[in-house]
Amino acid sequence: MVVSGSPNGGSTPPPPPPPPQEQANKYGFTKPISLAGPTDTDLQRNIELEKFLLDSGLYESNEEAATRREVLHRLDQIVKSWVKQLTRQRGYTDQMVEDANAVIYTFGSYRLGVHGPGVDIDTLCIGPSYVSREEDFFIILHNILAEMEEVTELQPVPDAHVPVMKFKFQGISIDLLYASVSLLVVPEDIDISHGSVLYDIDEPTVRSLNGCRVADQILKLVPNVEHFRTTLRCLKFWAKRRGVYSNVTGFLGGVNWAILVARICQLYPNAIPSMLVSRFFRVYTQWRWPNPVMLCSIEENELGFPIWDPRRNPRDRFHIMPIITPAYPCMNSSYNVSASTLRVMMEQFRYANKICDEIELNKAQWSALFQPYVFFEAYKNYLQVDIIASDTDDLLPWKGWVESRLRQLTLKIERDTNGMLQCHPYPHEYIDTSKLCAHSAFFMGLQRKEGVRGQEGQQFDIRGTVDEFRQEINMYVYWKPGMEIFVSHVRRKQLPAFVFPDGYKRTRIPRHVSHPAERIGDDATKCYSGSVSSEKCIKRKIYPEAVGRDQEKPEKRASISPQRLECVSPESCTGKSGGTAQMSIECIEGVRLAGSTTKDADCNCEIKSSDALPGSGISTDVADMQISEPDFIDSTNDRLKSRSEVPNESGVVNGDKARDLALDCLESAETESTKNLSNCREGVIDTNQRLDKVCNFISRAECSDCVPSANTQTLNCEVSYFI
């Protein structure tokens, strides 16, 4: 078993830094931007940063570290016994049974030495060629683990891009992968960094092995391991606080952040963590995506596994934020990133760069950089995805399946609205403890693309998009009765209480009171998305339905739906016709609907007519999903450059061309000022922009408490975006 012997989980002690004259060419494939070391001020600032990280509880206790080592040792014994059992059952000789072996490797944050308390351990089991993943690992070993008292929350995910089995062992979360190598006997000291381990194996096995191979390669390619670890621990903490840490949602995961930080360490080999954090944001706010981030040149091999190469692989040309793994076969580890999630991350990079500038000028403390992003104050409209199951055992795999497909909903919305409707998926899970059944919820912020004006009354009808998403979700091969998904639109003031800390829900401002923070005006809406000041007080515009304003303005454009609506109580929307499905619609505030006598914009209405809903004027025909080729982003002057203006169209960065291109980008990143940042209005939506929904509501007698509230329940959901 390969388990780190160092207290912080690192695989090797940090090597001594090479002499300055050797550093220019030792790390990475380009020269460093700067060989400067820390000043006295940098050293003091570094002490403050490390103290902040320690006070924030990012380091595990000695007791938890000992528990992790014990769990890994126990897991190693289990897989060895499992392989010997299979060897005996298949009629091998006694000597083969005695020699049969499997080993456990760690990778991810634990292998890199940046794990914190309570995080999971990424583990890889390497077994012989005659032990398969499909049957032996996901069936036989799964059943062995299921019968053990120490194992809880066992969840196999065989259909994932990297097949994995998730569970908790003595309370420690484990992600266990399996790789069957082309050996009859697996030696205890097998060297997985050697290319021979990749002979005669399939691609899922290659991807499983790559986690360990990449982690070890990263540690070899950074100038100072300890500085790398502290900086990475800091940046991961920042990303989680700002809501941009999640590979499955379309942001960046652990290996992505590790490669980005390692590249900064290569570019500033003598810098300490306080300097590296500042340089990180300085460089990546200027980075010209989709130019790739790489730690070394891409290696080709006679084994023939596909590598990231836009010249040969057309799909690679559509990756908009390529971050390339350093071990063969080199892959883009950030293929999940979409246009929307890249936009969100770039906003957060610019915000953090501004804070770091203030820290260097002694105008701010480190705590300002790590202020949490107030997601539920940033937008006026949200999609709520409720995930429901009969019990917690069913919810675990069902939630994992839905969460793994959420990024597809973002991509589909971008595709079907031509990028005009932007999504901000939030990677945090929320649980409504008041529900009797197992429940989980995820949210997405919605807003029209900034700077593009549409025609009055224009809608983005994404009914077909949501239906397509639901159809894909319902193809889950392990579906069981009780597994349901609800996709709903909620306004900011209608957000459920369970998304707020301690169940607190912001008090709604009376409509007849004009709050100073809600005054209309362009100046009042300019803010940095997620900035410290904006988190304390988000400036909004007055809602158009405020009392006293109806007489001053002409009547708002009515909904194009021809149905007669009648306000009823929420109770009247359920239980009719013996529990058959009833249609319900949420009255849109500020919009007077024909035939409606409503005075309360939050009331629920029953649709009397069964006529089909008219379209919004925008086609919802679903074509094959194609992601348009991304433009190069010139961050230094905030303009888009077409591919014809950028050299090296293929996107490949290798050799001298790579060095010239990278240095051209990075030297400007080091020298140009980033003081003047564009105003970010992503959290503000014009008052004449509206969301509408028409959804089928199904009352369930067997679990009525599981159905979302009247404001959010939907199976077939229309979300119309009024501009």
- Active-site amino acid positions: 109, 120, 122, 175, 236, 245
Q: Which of 144, 106, 108, 3 is nearest to 154 (CA)?
A: 144
Instruction: Count Cβ atoms below 10 Å from residue 504 Cβ, excluding itself.
Output: 9
What are phi and psi for residue 665, nearest 5 degrees? Answer: -75, -45
Angle between helices 392-416 and 463-473 (to 10 degrees): 140
Q: How far apart are CA 369 and CA 4, in angstroms?
A: 31
Contacts of 270 (CB under 8 A, 6+ apart): 17, 20, 23, 35, 36, 37, 38, 223
Tell which residue, 432, 547, 539, has the closest CA to residue 495. 432
From the list 623, 693, 714, 695, the residue with the least C-alpha distance to 459 is 693
Q: What is the DSSP string of 129-176?
A: TTS-IIIIIIIIIHHHHHT-TTEEEEEEETTSSS-EEEEEETTEEEEE
Cα distance between residue 261 and residue 37, in whole Å: 17
3-state helix, strand, coil in the chain (%, to 5): 35, 15, 50
Report the alpha-carbon angle 388-390-392, nearest 5.
Answer: 85
Cα–Cα distance for residue pair 419/62, rounded to 1 Å: 49
Residues 574 and 710: their CA atoms lie apart, in Å, by 9
Coil, helix or strand at residue 227? helix
Quote the CA–CA distance of 699 and 689 in Å, as a whole number: 31
Classify 127 as helix, strand or coil.
strand
The conformational region for residue 494 under phi > 0 = left, psi -120 to 50 = alpha, else beta, is alpha
Report the candidate in 508, 205, 234 with the shortest Cα–Cα distance to residue 369. 234
Whether residue 309 contacts residue 652, with contact meaning beta carbons closer than 8 Å, is answered with yes
* Closest residue by Cα to residue 160 from 140, 174, 175: 175
**Residue 576 CB: number of other CB atoms within 10 A?**
12
Contacts of 139 (CB under 8 A, 6+ apart): none
Does residue 410 sit in helix, strand or coil? Answer: helix
Q: What is the DSSP letter of 373?
A: P
Place of tokens 């931007």: 33
CA 328 to chain centroid: 25
Residues 258 and 234 sit within 8 Å (Cβ to Cβ): no
